[in-house]
Amino acid sequence: MNILSQIEGFEWDEGNITKNWDKHKVSHFECEEIFFNEPLIVQKDKEHSKAETLYLALGKTNANRLLFAAFTIRNNKIRVISTRDMTRKERQKYE
């Protein structure tokens, strides 16, 4: 089953809505866009999944900006932990 098939939206709060902009100049709108565009590559982050399951995603915004995102799912909502531009190695994997 696709882990994103039951998603009902995104979870944003004061703790995470501006963090990606402040660190990487990625807006929360861009963070959301990658989940609606193809291709989207998602895998479990087994190395960092301790208290809850974390996922890694490679995707693109509506403006074709290539982004890496780390996220979790809480109550059928995506909670983005971190988003940044893809590295060269990630771009090669994505393409």
Per-residue tokens: 39:
């291709």
Using pLDDT thresholds of 50, 70 and 90, give the confidence band for residue 1: very low
Using pLDDT thresholds of 50, 70 and 90, give the confidence band for residue 94: very high
What is the biggest distance separating any 2 CA atoms in the chain, rounded to whole angstroms?
A: 35
Domain map (residue ranges) of the chain: 9-94
Query: What is the percent of the chain where pLDDT is above 70?
Result: 99
Phi first, then psi, for residue 94 (nearest 5°) are -65, -40
pTM for the model: 0.90
Rounded to an integer, what distance in angstroms lies between the CA atom of residue 68 and that of residue 23? 14
Tell me the average pLDDT of the chain. Answer: 93
Using pLDDT thresholds of 50, 70 and 90, give the confidence band for residue 43: very high
